[in-house]
Amino acid sequence: MTGSGQVTTGPLPIGQFAQLVKRTVAHDPLFRNQALKGEVTQWKQYASGHTYFSLRDEDGQMSAVIWKGKCSIDPSIKEGSEVVVIATLDLYVKRGNIQLVVQRIEPVNVLGELEKAKRLLLEKLNQEGELERTRQRIPAVPKHIAIVTGAGSAALSDMHRLIDNRWPGLRRTVIGVLVQGPRAPQEIVRGLAVTRALANAEVAKHRNQPPVDLVILGRGGGSPEDLWAFNLEPVARAILASPVPVVSAVGHESDVLVSDLVADLRASTPSDAIERVVPSRNEIEFLLDEMDERLKVASQRQLIDCRQKITVLHSRLRVAPLAGLNRAKGEMMRIASRIERATRQSLNIQSNILARCEASLAAVHPQRVLERGYSMTQTAEGSVLSSVDGLQTGQDIILHFADGSADAQIIKTQKNEGTT
Amino acid sequence: MSDEKPTYTEAVLRLEAIVSTLERGGMGLDETLKLYEEGAELLKLCKSELAEAEGKLNELQLDEIESELQSEKQ
């Protein structure tokens, strides 16, 4: 090794050159304690306690090392994390590698910002009553499902597979959109606008399809940042604007997104969405067949009941007149005997009266009077005479006695005083 | 029931009510026949709804379907 200032005469040994670079780099303030930002890749924590990784962005990347115990490492840092480091450039002479020796490393708190925005949006939607709104009912048999999701995604093929298991050939329209990245929110909003158009009866008629009656908005799992489009207000508003029910089926079980909270139905995953909204055709057909059977059996039994009632009525009807006649006959006989009795009584009374009348009449019979010594006077023509008026001297009269009669002549008449 | 065609759900609910009524029994011939006819009609409707759910699978990119809809509008 030659001292500085010495004129070098031949080629420099590489190790010496590397040492030279190392010293130069170490003296430049630009390369010391620099704050740098990038994405973590090839994150490896060795048993020795050292951590090796690369820091990268779209334009480049550099190796980095965190020596054991030199700084605390946030446990959330992993492959793909956005981080800010304070590092000093160093050359590893033995291998000629340039690397960053990290003194501090912090995850960039993108999520913190996003979480705050999500919370504010939820508060706003809650105040507007959108979180408590009455949800639209999922159709029992959807006639046209629109699926808004990533074209060619694993989530989509899962959904297709499950739909075809449950209801082969169920009508569906897939609208392929970007579901992550900066353009995702806008594409999702546009995709939902398309579903609104397809739900319109006229548009549907024009396209010769039933209107869309159910929308599934789905994507598979991913990092919270990947799913972030589903936490944004324009997407939430587009869901709320849907005239037909929207199912939010984003991410995994544990992810709860704004889209889940405003949708008509929240499914934990795209597959779960299918399980919940696509009925099994076999089951439905079985239920309808069963209903068919019950309808027939119940109606038939009801008809048999009706027939039995008719039979009973019929036989009652047949015996009814006889019963009526018998009753009438009995009634008549009762009445007849009452009449007979009444007549008999009445006759008895009459004959008593007659007997009494007879006695009275007998008492007043003229013969009886004659027998008592009176006599009855008649004109020659037979009229009974009860007054001297009209009698002529010399007129012939007949005197009747009890035992005979005598012809006589009026000699003289004389009227009692005081009589007229 | 309204004059409008009932939805599948409405049809099934009405059908269930009809079947229960018939199963309870005790109605006259006229009513039985009327209910049976209505039930049979509803069943036919439900079955046709099932057939209607079957259809084509459309898979379109956003731009494609947007321009389709746009051109249909004109």
- State how far Cα A72 lies from the chain centre: 58
* Boundary residue ending a domain (A279, A312, A333): A279
A101 and A119, same domain (yes or no): no
Whether the predicted pLDDT of B1 surpasses 50: no
> Please, what's the b/e burial string for A291-311 (b: 16 or more CB within 10 A of its CB; e: otherwise)?
bbebbbebbeebeebbeeeee
Instruction: Identify whether A299 is part of a domain.
Output: no
Looking at the DSSP bridge assignments, the partners of residue A85 are A36, A105
Q: What is the pLDDT of residues B7-60, one digit of tens each?
A: 888 899 999 999 999 888 888 888 888 999 999 999 999 988 888 888 888 888
- For A134, the token pair is 């009455």
A20 and A92, same domain (yes or no): yes
- C-alpha span between A272 and A69 (Å, rounded): 46
- Is the predicted ipTM greater than 0.95, yes or no? no
Q: What is the CATH number of the domain that holds B66?
A: 1.10.287
- pLDDT confidence of residue A276: 94
State whether residue A12 is helix, strand or coil: coil
- C-alpha span between B13 and B5 (Å, rounded): 14
By Cβ distance, the residue of B32, B53, B66 closest to A167 is: B53
Q: Residue range A400-410: average pLDDT?
A: 89
Distance from CA of B25 to the nearest CA of A (A): 6
Whether the predicted pLDDT of A264 surpasses 90: yes
> β-strands B57-61, A404-409: how paired?
unpaired
Whether the predicted pLDDT of A116 surpasses 60: yes
Q: What is the pLDDT of residues A346-374, one digit of tens each?
A: 888 888 888 888 888 777 777 777 888 88
- pLDDT confidence of residue B3: 55
A144 and A244, same domain (yes or no): yes
Q: Residue range A325-331: average pLDDT?
A: 84
- pLDDT confidence of residue A253: 73
| Residue numbers of the domain that contains A62 | 14-108
Instruction: Identify whether A356 is part of a domain.
Output: no
Instruction: Identify whether B61 is part of a domain.
Output: yes
A102 and A132, same domain (yes or no): no
Q: Under an 8 A CB cutoff, do A197 and B69 touch?
A: yes
Instruction: Identify whether B16 is part of a domain.
Output: yes
Quick one: pLDDT band at residue B2, thresholds 50, 70, 90?
very low
Quick one: pLDDT band at residue A196, thresholds 50, 70, 90?
very high
Orientation angle between helical segments B8-24 and A281-363, nearest 10 degrees: 40
A76 and A156, same domain (yes or no): no
Q: What is the pLDDT of residues A3-61, one digit of tens each?
A: 454 555 788 899 999 999 999 888 888 888 888 889 999 999 999 999 999 999 888 99
Instruction: Identify whether A327 is part of a domain.
Output: no
A274 and A127, same domain (yes or no): yes
- pLDDT confidence of residue A110: 65
A61 and A148, same domain (yes or no): no
Whether the predicted pLDDT of A390 surpasses 90: no
Q: What is the pLDDT of residues A198-246, one digit of tens each?
A: 999 999 999 999 999 999 999 998 877 788 899 999 999 999 999 999 9
- Rounded percentage of chain A residues whose pLDDT exceeds 70: 97
Q: What is the CATH number of the domain that holds A52?
A: 2.40.50.140
- C-alpha span between A251 and A309 (Å, rounded): 64
Instruction: Identify whether B41 is part of a domain.
Output: yes
* Chain A hits for B57, Cβ within 8 Å: 160, 169, 171-174
Distance from CA of A209 to the nearest CA of B (A): 8
A233 and A266, same domain (yes or no): yes
Q: What is the pLDDT of residues A269-302, one digit of tens each?
A: 999 999 999 999 999 999 999 999 999 999 898 8
A173 and A149, same domain (yes or no): yes
Helix locations, A153-207, DSSP H: 154-166, 184-199, 201-206
Best mutation target, A141, A167, A300, to test chain B (most B CBs within 10 A):
A141
Nearest alpha-carbon partner for A111 in A223, A257, A36:
A223
> β-strands A384-385, A404-409: how paired?
unpaired
A100 and A204, same domain (yes or no): no
Whether the predicted pLDDT of A1 surpasses 70: no
Distance from CA of B70 to the nearest CA of A (A): 10
Instruction: Identify whether A323 is part of a domain.
Output: no
User: Distances from the Cα of A413 to the Cαs of A86, A359, A386, A391, A419, in angstroms?
Assistant: 188, 37, 13, 7, 14
Instruction: Identify whether A351 is part of a domain.
Output: no
- pLDDT confidence of residue A158: 93
- C-alpha span between A26 and A5 (Å, rounded): 19
Work out the number of other CB atoms within 10 angstroms of the CB of residue A333.
Answer: 10
Cβ neighbors of A397 (< 8 A, separation 6 or more) are A377, A378, A379, A380, A385, A391, A407, A408, A409, A410
| Residue numbers of the domain that contains B18 | 8-73
What total of structural domains would you count in chain A? 3
Work out the number of other CB atoms within 10 angstroms of the CB of residue A147.
Answer: 27
CA closest to A286 among chain B residues: B47
By Cβ distance, the residue of B8, B50, B52 closest to A210 is: B52
Distance from CA of A24 to the nearest CA of B (A): 56
- pLDDT confidence of residue A232: 93
Instruction: Identify whether A148 is part of a domain.
Output: yes
- pLDDT confidence of residue A389: 85
By Cβ distance, the residue of B12, B22, B60 closest to A298 is: B22
A135 and A257, same domain (yes or no): yes
Helix locations, B2-74, DSSP H: 8-24, 29-52, 62-73
Nearest alpha-carbon partner for A163 in A149, A184, A182:
A149
Instruction: Identify whether A326 is part of a domain.
Output: no
Instruction: Identify whether B25 is part of a domain.
Output: yes
Q: Which long-range contacts (CB under 8 A, 24 or more apart) does A106-114 make?
A: A106/A74, A107/A74, A107/A76, A107/A77, A107/A81, A107/A82, A107/A83, A108/A37, A108/A81, A108/A82, A108/A83, A108/A84, A110/A82, A110/A225, A111/A224, A111/A225, A114/A224, A114/A225, A114/A228, A114/A231
Quick one: pLDDT band at residue A111, thresholds 50, 70, 90?
low
A103 and A127, same domain (yes or no): no
What total of structural domains would you count in chain B? 1
Nearest alpha-carbon partner for A291 in B61, B5, B56, B11:
B11
Nearest alpha-carbon partner for A239 in A260, A220, A212:
A260
* Chain B hits for A295, Cβ within 8 Å: 15, 18-19, 22, 36, 39-40, 43
